[in-house]
Structures are given as structure tokens and as C-alpha cells.
């Protein structure tokens, strides 16, 4: 293997690493391999995970795809305190407002000694910090309004619509320059090495064109970041240096916008803007059933009473009823009952689903009628 081939292989490996994202396990990843169509919803892989974070991969090939990241509520607040939200390392832990002393470090928010929350982005962590500080400092009468604002904002359809539109405009500005960096890195410079070797001035000119293109991407990203996130406290110059001098990172510049733009929004309003109706209904049903049918041992069982009314109101605004989301699965063979949470099917009419904490199964309506 020549030095040039080794360099190309190492660069390819670095680029594939840049396509990987470590996210909290409860995160919903909305992605497509095209620009606007073919969106799917997924979660970070629990098979490759550590510290309540799993890995997901963005589409690495042209046209570089699109990726949006939305995190369900990291905390479930009420008037007296909060529960640590689903997918977190301390899921279900209850804290009173007087015990909360929030601190932020990058994407991690510390609620109290030994209780940490993992966020999808620094923007999500900043949004959460601002809410926690205000709610903890409020009087009991003021806190009610703060909590109502929290729920209304996180499930806001107009806010989700505006966020998706902003992402699409920003991604359209970045996508072609990012593709230019991809083509120069994986096409033009390897061709120059193959044709002229590593000592020709033409190769130097190729690297100069790459530097020029990465600088252009960095400047476009900085302009978009200032406009989209004017209150962000991140150090933009450090990110710009990464974009200028690390082409593998530069190619994924539009993903930096996608990871931030849905900060503070629940996945359902955002998913309603990009998923097809059938895929959105499946995601909404999965979310609803996970909250509605919690086993008695679940640490978030008490929090369901806070979440369900707001989740139902949001789904109704999106055109889904409770009956739609709790519809029985298609019956397979001689199955006699099904789990209302995960829709596993059982041959016994009266059984419990061990995977869901021994939730009692349900018969199909036709069997009940008999």
C-alpha cells in the first residue's frame, strides 16, 4: 500500500467517524438519504451504547442526506418538582425544586450531585438550563405559568414548522459547498495524486482549492449559526477552525444545524412535518402506548398522569385520536391476545408480557364480543 493510498484510507475512516452521532437513547432521529423525501424515524442503537448514549449514522454519500435530532422531555416537571425523563441514566428519579442546583457542561446538565442529564446538543442543554433555573427560582404562583410555557413550547406545532423550515433553508445553503468539499477530497485530489504524484504543483493547487472551499463552508456556517441561534453561548471560532482545517468534519456541516434546530421541541411536532402519515402515526402510537401502559414497577408511572393529557391534546391537533393510537395490531394466526404496549401476540387469552413489565394482555374486540 502506497503512502497516498494509506492517506486516502485514513481520511475515509475519519469521514465515516464524522457520520456517527452519540445521542441519548431516547432521542428520535429523523433522517433521509435524499434532500426532502423518504424521511424515517429511528433511535440510537442500544447495541452500541454507553452511559445512556447510543450511536446513529447519517447518510454518508451524495446528496449527503438530511438529519434532524429531537429529544423527548429530559425532565418531566410538575408544581412540586420533577422526574428525570425517559432514556436518561437516572430515569424516573424524583427531585424537589429546592434540591435542584443545575450546572451545564457542554451537552451534560447536572441537576444535583450525582444526577446528570444527557442532551442531544449544547443548544438543548442551554434551553434546559434556562428552564430549570427559572422554575427553581420562581415562587409557587409563578412556577405554574413557567411550567405551562414549558409544555406549550415543547409541543408547539408552529414552532416545529418554523424550525423545520429554517433547517431546510440552512441545509440548502450548505449542501452544495459541502458536496464540493466531498468531491475535491474523494475525487479531485486522489486523481491528482494518481496522475502527477505527490510532488507536483498541481497537487498543491488541489489542496489550496480544498482549503478555499472549507473556508467558504465555515463562513456560511458562521453566518447561518448567528442568524438561527443568536442567543447561543458556544465559541463559534473553535467550530470554524474545525471546519476550515478538517475537511472530513466540513462535509457534515449541515448536520451541525440539524442537531441544534429542534432544541426544546418534542419529536412528535417535528416528525409531523417530515414523515408520511403512516410513519407518523406509527411513531405517535409508539410514544402514546409507551406512556399509557407503564407497568406498576416503572419509576415514571406517576409522571404519566402529567404527560398523557398534554400528549393527547398534541396528537388531537395533529389529527390523531386515542382510538387511532390504541388500535389493536393485525392478528397473526391463532393468537388469542396481544400486549397493548409493544403489540407482541400470545396464544393464551390471559397472559402477561414479560418484556413490558408483566402488563396484562388484551383480547381482540371480536373475541370479547363472543
**Full residue range of the structural domain in which residue 353 is found:** 337-369
pLDDT of residue 71: 95
- Percent of the chain with pLDDT strictly greater than 90: 85
Decide the pairing of beta strands 108-112 and 53-57: unpaired
pLDDT of residue 51: 80
- Indicate whether 342 belongs to any domain: yes
- Indicate whether 343 belongs to any domain: yes
Is residue 370 over pLDDT 60? no
| CA 348/CA 341 separation, integer angstroms | 17
Q: Distance from CA of residue 248 to its chain's centroid?
A: 22
Is residue 368 over pLDDT 60? no
Q: How high does pLDDT run on average in the chain? A: 93
| CA 72/CA 303 separation, integer angstroms | 14
Region of poorest pLDDT, from 25-29, 38-42, 343-347, 366-370: 366-370
Is residue 198 over pLDDT 80? no
pLDDT of residue 369: 39
Q: Can you tell me the mean pLDDT for 60-76?
A: 95
Q: Distance from CA of residue 19 to its chain's centroid?
A: 14
Residues across the chain: 370
- Indicate whether 362 belongs to any domain: yes
- Indicate whether 42 belongs to any domain: no
Is residue 367 over pLDDT 90? no
With 0-12 CB in 10 A as exposed, 13-18 as middle and 19+ as buried, what is 330? exposed
- Indicate whether 359 belongs to any domain: yes
Instruction: Please report which confidence band the pLDDT of residue 322 belongs to, taking 50, 70 and 90 as the band edges.
Output: very high
pLDDT of residue 366: 60
Q: Can you tell me the mean pLDDT for 254-278?
A: 96
| CA 171/CA 275 separation, integer angstroms | 18
Our count of domains for the chain comes to 1
Is residue 85 over pLDDT 60? yes
- Indicate whether 365 belongs to any domain: yes
- Indicate whether 96 belongs to any domain: no
- Indicate whether 352 belongs to any domain: yes
Task: Report the candidate in 204, 185, 230 with the shortest Cα–Cα distance to residue 62.
Answer: 185
Q: What is the pTM of this model?
A: 0.92
Amino acid at each position: 500500500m502506497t503512502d497516498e493510498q494509506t492517506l486516502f484510507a485514513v481520511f475515509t475512516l475519519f469521514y465515516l467517524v464524522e457520520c456517527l452521532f452519540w445521542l441519548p437513547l431516547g432521542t428520535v432521529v429523523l433522517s433521509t438519504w435524499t434532500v426532502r423525501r423518504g424521511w424515517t424515524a429511528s433511535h440510537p442503537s442500544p447495541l452500541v451504547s454507553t452511559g445512556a448514549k447510543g450511536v446513529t449514522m447519517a447518510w454518508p454519500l451524495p446528496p449527503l442526506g438530511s438529519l434532524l435530532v429531537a429529544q423527548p422531555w429530559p425532565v418531566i416537571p410538575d408544581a412540586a418538582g420533577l422526574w428525570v425523563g425517559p432514556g436518561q441514566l437516572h430515569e424516573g428519579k424524583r427531585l424537589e425544586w429546592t434540591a435542584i442546583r443545575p450546572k451545564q457542561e457542554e451537552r451534560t446538565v447536572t441537576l444535583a450531585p450525582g444526577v446528570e442529564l444527557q442532551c442531544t446538543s449544547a443548544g438543548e442543554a442551554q434551553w434546559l438550563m434556562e428552564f430549570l433555573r427559572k422554575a427553581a427560582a420562581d415562587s409557587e404562583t409563578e412556577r405554574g405559568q413557567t411550567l405551562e410555557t414549558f409544555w406549550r413550547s415543547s409541543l408547539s406545532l408552529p414552532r416545529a414548522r418554523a424550525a423545520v423550515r429554517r433547517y431546510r433553508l440552512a441545509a440548502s445553503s450548505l449542501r452544495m459547498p459541502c458536496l464540493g468539499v466531498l468531491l475535491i477530497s474523494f475525487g479531485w485530489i486522489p486523481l491528482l495524486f494518481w496522475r502527477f504524484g505527490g510532488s507536483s504543483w498541481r497537487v498543491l493547487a488541489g489542496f489550496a482549492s480544498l482549503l478555499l472551499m472549507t473556508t467558504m463552508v465555515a463562513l456560511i456556517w458562521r453566518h447561518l449559526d448567528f442568524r438561527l441561534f443568536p442567543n447561543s453561548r458556544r465559541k463559534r471560532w473553535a467550530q470554524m477552525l474545525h471546519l476550515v482545517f478538517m475537511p472530513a468534519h466540513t462535509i457534515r456541516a449541515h448536520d451541525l444545524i440539524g442537531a441544534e434546530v429542534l432544541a426544546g421541541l418534542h419529536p412528535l411536532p417535528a416528525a409531523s412535518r417530515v414523515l408520511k402519515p403512516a410513519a407518523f402515526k406509527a411513531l405517535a402510537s409508539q410514544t402514546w402506548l409507551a406512556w399509557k401502559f407503564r407497568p406498576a414497577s416503572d419509576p415514571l408511572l406517576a409522571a404519566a398522569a402529567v404527560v398523557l393529557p398534554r400528549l393527547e391534546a398534541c396528537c388531537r391537533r395533529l389529527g390523531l385520536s386515542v382510538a387511532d393510537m390504541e388500535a389493536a395490531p393485525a392478528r397473526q394466526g391463532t393468537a388469542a391476545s396481544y400486549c397493548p404496549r409493544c403489540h407482541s401476540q400470545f396464544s393464551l387469552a390471559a397472559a402477561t408480557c414479560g418484556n413490558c413489565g408483566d402488563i396484562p394482555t388484551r383480547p381482540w374486540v371480536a373475541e370479547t364480543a363472543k
